[in-house]
Amino acid sequence: MVEKTMKRLSYDKSALIETLHTAQETFGYLENETLKFIARRLKLPYAKVYGVATFYHFFRLKPKGKHTVVVCMGTACYIKDANKILEKLENRFNIKAGETTKDGLLSLISARCVGSCSLAPIAIYDNKAIGHLGIEQSVDEAQELLSC
C-alpha cells in the first residue's frame, strides 16, 4: 500500500504526509525502517521524514495499546487541573504521556486541545469523551477500560 500511494502521487516530495498516513494505517505505527524506506523512495533526507513524523501528534513511532486515554492539556483544561489528572494516570500506570504500558493494554496521550473547553477538564477514553473529570475518577475510568 505504501509503495502504491507514493507511485500514485508520482513519488513527489509533497506526498510525504499522505505516505506517512498510509504507512501508519498499514502497519499501525511508523517504525524506523519504514521512515527510512519512505525517505529513500521520496528522495528526502531521513531527518525531514522523521521531523514530520514526530511533529504531528497523530503519527505514532511505537505500537498503540489496546486502549487509549487522551488527556486534553488545553488552557481551559489545564487551569482545571488536567496536569494533575495526567500525572495521576502516569503514576498509576507507570508510564509517561506518549507511552504504552509494557503489557500493551494502555496508551496514554496528552493533546494540546480536543475542542471541548466547556467540558474542562476532559479526557477521551477509547473514543468516549468524559468531561468535568475528577482526578480520582480519571483512574477509575481507565481501570474500567482495562477490565473490558
**Is residue 148 marked as binding?**
no
**Is residue 117 marked as binding?**
yes
**Is residue 113 marked as binding?**
yes
Asked if 26 and 2 count as a contact pair (C-beta separation under 8 A), the reply is yes
68: three-class secondary structure by DSSP:
strand
First-residue to last-residue Cα distance in the chain:
33
User: Cis ω on the peptide bond leading into residue 45 (within 30° of 0)?
Assistant: no
Q: Closest Cα to residue 107, out of 56, 63, 61?
A: 63
Annotated binding site: 72, 77, 113, 117
Annotated binding site for [2Fe-2S] cluster: 72, 77, 113, 117
